[in-house]
């Protein structure tokens, strides 16, 4: 399987990179600072580029079965537009490659998952620290949903550095659901399993233990 990961220097993207290589995938990474990718592997190609530059993505998207966007930004109180702009650029590439899948990792609190993160997250942490980030993640999700491509939006619960267990809940109906935690490696596990056996495309699954 050949996949392109955008945002692989840390977090879920890094976990996906490591897990995909373990699963014998051919991985291409688009990175603004390639030196931050410390892994060396015969099935890994690291390309310097930026998700805000559509041509960077177009140049390496051909032949990939999926593009996985795992980009993130530090906590900020300034307006954010990285997620929505990157989504538009990724879609330019996906639409040039018929059959290519587009997977975006957003998070608990995006779209319809708002209000399912627990009291502290929903009432304090998200509105005080993540308001601008999630406003743009909402825009990102709407852009992807209306794109007409083969998409999946993954909404993980609070992320941990735990191991890959393969044991977690996948929720599409969030009625009565309060998310807990999930490891970045289990988010990666879910993505790779979906690429092999797609059941959640055109959906927005919430992942949690």
Q: What are the tens digits of pLDDT across the range 5-51? A: 999 999 999 999 999 999 999 999 999 999 999 999 999 999 999 99
Mean pLDDT of the chain: 97
SS3 77: coil
Q: Are 187 and 105 spatial neighbours (Cβ–Cβ below 8 Å)?
A: yes
Mean of pLDDT values over 86-95:
98
Q: Which domains does the chain have, with CATH numbers?
A: 2-208 (3.40.50.720)
Alpha-carbon 106 to chain mean position = 6
Which of 52, 88, 83 has the alpha carbon at shortest distance from 70? 83
Q: Which residues pair with 182 in a beta bridge?
A: 159
Q: What are the tens digits of pLDDT across the range 135-188? A: 999 999 999 999 999 999 999 999 999 999 999 999 999 999 999 999 999 999
């Amino acid at each position: 399987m050949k996949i392109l990961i955008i945002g692989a220097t840390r977090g879920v993207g890094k976990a996906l990179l490591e897990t995909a290589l373990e699963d014998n995938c051919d991985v291409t990474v688009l990175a603004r600072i390639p030196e931050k990718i410390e892994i060396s592997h015969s099935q890994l190609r690291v390309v310097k580029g930026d998700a805000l530059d559509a041509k960077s993505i177009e140049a390496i998207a051909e032949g990939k079965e999926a593009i996985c966007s795992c980009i993130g930004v530090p906590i900020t109180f300034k307006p954010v537009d990285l997620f929505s702009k990157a989504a538009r650029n990724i879609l330019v590439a996906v639409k040039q490659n018929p059959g290519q899948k587009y997977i975006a990792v957003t998070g608990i609190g995006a779209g319809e998952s708002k209000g399912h993160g627990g009291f502290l997250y929903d009432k304090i942490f998200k509105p005080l620290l993540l308001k601008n980030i999630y406003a743009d993640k909402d825009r990102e999700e709407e852009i992807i949903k209306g794109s007409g491509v083969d998409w999946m939006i993954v909404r993980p619960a609070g992320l941990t550095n735990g191991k890959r267990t393969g044991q977690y809940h996948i929720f599409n109906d969030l009625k009565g659901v309060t998310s807990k935690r999930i490891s970045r490696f289990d988010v990666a596990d879910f993505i790779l399993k979906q690429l092999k056996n797609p059941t959640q495309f055109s959906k927005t699954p919430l992942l949690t233990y």
